[in-house]
Amino acid sequence: MVSLLIAVVVMAIVFDYINGFHDAANAIATVVSTGVLPIRTAVFLAGILNFAGAVTGTAVAKTIASGFADPGDVTQAVVLAALLGACIWNLITWWFGIPSSSSHALVGGLAGAVVAHAGVGAFKWGALVQKVLVPLVASPTIGFVVAFFAMVGLVWVCRGRWSRGVLLALAALVLAGLGWAVWHSATLSVALRESTLETKIVLALGLCFLVGVPVLYGARPQVVQSHSRRLQLLSAGMMAFGHGSNDAQKSMGIITLALAVFVTQGHALPEWTPDWFLPQDADHVPTWVVLACATAIAAGTAAGGTRIIKTMGTKIIRITPLQGFAAETAGAFTILGASHLGIPVSTTHVINAAIMGVGASKRLSAVRWGVAGNILIAWVVTLPFSAGLAWLSMKLLALLGT
């Protein structure tokens, strides 16, 4: 039984590594495509910031660990099958350069494996709707709208229309916070009072954005180009931080679920799991799990994913440094807000939507909607395809007597 738990932990870390290089483009596609940083430097810095973001919280991990299935309805084989389905789908989409969602692949894999083992009723479909399907629509929409208005505001500032441009840029930043707040029935005062690390980071990012805007006021095109390249370093860094804060926690959650299942079945945890853990602690993420998953996603990101970087950085729109700054800032706000609320959103969906938003702010024809349509199809099919792969993996494991 311990050997199966070890296999699950190893597979979860492998999934986290694959997630890193599959989704490296989320943080660095724009900064590489605009020539602000060479790819090797970009992926190295993104890996460091992925690690930093991954250790800032565990709200998303708790959702994955206990939000979709009860430990009593899950076995180690179920978790292993879920990871196999997610990994296979990620590798397929990476090979073809399709920016699909690792988050949805994992949740879909968990759904398929649970259904194969315990039937349709064992999976929490209400949680799937609330925590996955609603964010599937909401998070890209917020990213698109915020990026659109932020880009328009920045362009007006650059043209010397100070009051109009700053107000619109500020409104774009506020939209992200209001979007999550209204949906989550939260208020700004509550967020400020809780003052979590994610909240402080979001507020700091907003301040940096507003401080950076005046340097573009009425500047000549070549000056705008120079300043926006510097600002893009900040926004790309925050996007990498946000990616780590949300995506790394999904593997943390799946390992925590495996530990909860192991203890629920009456087994004593091995000595290499030093943190105190009880069956009712399915929402407690051990420190060693946090560090292992943070390291894995950072290493995967540092390995890079050039296939998807090309798709995101050049095939959707021909992106400029100023557009990259707007897209990454909007994406970082949206993702960090979701991490604060414990919502496992797709960082891939958010940044792609933000890139489409900045492109559409120029003119609708600036976006290659054919490529965007293919990406949207990948978004839709990820859940059922990863679920199907996990279902097959579970049936195969059952035949092997696992």
Per-residue pLDDT tens for 60-93? 887 787 778 887 788 889 999 999 999 999 888 8
Read off the pLDDT of each residue in 256-261 and give the average, rounded to a whole number. Answer: 85
**DSSP-derived 3-state class of residue 100:** coil
Read off the pLDDT of each residue in 150-168 and give the average, rounded to a whole number. Answer: 67
Share of the chain above pLDDT 90, in %: 12
CA dist 310 and 318 (Å) reads 11
The full set of domain ranges for the chain reads: 2-399
Read off the pLDDT of each residue in 147-161 and give the average, rounded to a whole number. Answer: 76
Joined tokens for residue 331: 């994406």
Question: What pLDDT, on the 0 to 100 scale, is given for residue 256?
Answer: 86
Question: What pLDDT, on the 0 to 100 scale, is given for residue 279?
Answer: 44
Mean pLDDT of the chain: 77
The answer, yes or no, to whether residue 192 has pLDDT greater than 60, is no
Burial (CB < 10 A; 0-12, 13-18, 19+), residue 345, is buried
Read off the pLDDT of each residue in 206-231 and give the average, rounded to a whole number. Answer: 62
Confidence band for 100, pLDDT divided at 50, 70 and 90: confident
CA dist 146 and 169 (Å) reads 9
CA distances from 372 to 89, 356, 375, 376 (A): 20, 8, 5, 6
Read off the pLDDT of each residue in 360-381 and give the average, rounded to a whole number. Answer: 75
> What is the DSSP code string of 148-160?
HHHHHHHHHHHTT
Report pTM: 0.79
Burial (CB < 10 A; 0-12, 13-18, 19+), residue 74, is buried
CA dist 394 and 402 (Å) reads 9
Per-residue pLDDT tens for 260-300? 888 877 777 766 665 555 444 555 788 888 899 999 999 98
Q: Are 51 and 298 in contact (CB under 8 A)?
A: yes
Among 36-50, 108-122, 207-221, 244-258, the range scoring the smallest mean pLDDT is 207-221
Per-residue pLDDT tens for 138-153? 788 888 888 888 788 7
Question: What pLDDT, on the 0 to 100 scale, is given for residue 200?
Answer: 54
Residue with the two structure tokens 């049936």: 395
The answer, yes or no, to whether residue 44 has pLDDT greater than 60, is yes
Question: What pLDDT, on the 0 to 100 scale, is given for residue 162?
Answer: 55
Burial 329-342 (b: 16+ CB within 10 A, else e): bbbbbbbbbbbbbb
Share of the chain above pLDDT 70, in %: 74
Amino acid occupying residue 341: L
Higher pLDDT, 210 or 302: 302
The answer, yes or no, to whether residue 189 has pLDDT greater than 70, is no
Question: What pLDDT, on the 0 to 100 scale, is given for residue 336?
Answer: 79
Question: What pLDDT, on the 0 to 100 scale, is given for residue 386?
Answer: 94
The answer, yes or no, to whether residue 160 has pLDDT greater than 70, is no
Among 153-157, 248-252, 326-330, 395-399, the range scoring the smallest mean pLDDT is 153-157
Among 3-7, 96-100, 190-194, the range scoring the smallest mean pLDDT is 190-194
Among 8-22, 215-229, 341-355, the range scoring the smallest mean pLDDT is 215-229
CA distances from 383 to 105, 195, 290, 362 (A): 6, 34, 25, 33
Higher pLDDT, 242 or 114: 114
Higher pLDDT, 225 or 46: 46
